[in-house]
Amino acid sequence: MATQAAPKSGFDKWKEGILRAPGDPKWDIWDAEIRTAVSEFNQHLATTTGYMPLDWRFIKTIIWVESGAGNPQWRVKPMQIGVVGDAGMDALLFGNEGGDLILPPIWKERLTVLSIRTVPSHNIRAGIGYLLMKMAYYEYRSVTPPGATVFDVTVQAGDSLDRIAKTHGSTAQVMQRLNPAAGVLRVGQVLKCQKATLQRVITGWRAVSASVIAARYNGTGDPAYLTRLQTTLPLVFGGKG
């Protein structure tokens, strides 16, 4: 009596589908949009410390893993950002995680909750933005506005560098840099000061890889996410499955 084959797991069914994807035009409909979107982000972030241009094929890989041509959301939310239960969209648009530094200015104005959930090109850009937001390293640093001049301030009773900085629209870090010998302040002492604000800045970038994408983009949402990426990457990058 023949033994009955064990039913295929959800992952096995997914893998069969993904291995048939290369060469199927349905799976490539977002290529031009991805290329354009990635180019916009690359240009915007090119001057940040240590930025290496993002390869658009990483985004195509994520899209194949996140939805794929057989998914009903393929033509609406290909990167799946903004779906029910996903916190990525709010983190990018409204969180204090650096999204304002990542999004190109024109897309900071265009992206909305509704557009991300209903317009595929917006969904793709929100997904790219969220990925890059999670790839960046940040610090808060003193930033002086263009053309800010150095001026003198006189120490008053009860002053400290921090108090003087707050009074004159500067930061303690700038005060310390301009007055390296200022230890114990004396009333009447003249110090240098310059307008500055404490701002979040990008200080570096994580290297993009399957493991980093799985950890930073997916989090713990899908325990098989890394395996899915590792299965899909060689297909998208031109290798064999």
161 and 119 inside one domain: no
124 and 211 inside one domain: yes
Cα separation values, 236 from 12, 33, 59, 81, 136, Å:
19, 16, 10, 21, 24
99 and 188 inside one domain: no
133 and 150 inside one domain: no
Count of structural domains, the chain: 2
Cα R_g (the chain), whole angstroms = 25
Overall average pLDDT of the 208-233 stretch = 90
161 and 112 inside one domain: no
Give the domain CATH number at 152.
3.10.350.10
Identify the residue with better confidence: 35 or 218. Answer: 35
* 105's tokens: 């200015």
Overall average pLDDT of the 65-86 stretch = 92
pLDDT of 191 higher than 60: yes
104 and 182 inside one domain: no
Q: What is the pLDDT of residue 241?
A: 40
127 and 230 inside one domain: yes
* 236's tokens: 């998208």
Predicted model pTM? 0.84
Q: pLDDT tens for residues 115-138?
A: 999 999 999 999 999 999 999 999
Q: pLDDT tens for residues 93-105?
A: 998 899 999 999 9
Tell me the residue range of the domain where 54 lies.
22-137+205-236
pLDDT band at 239 (very low <50, low <70, confident <90, very high): low
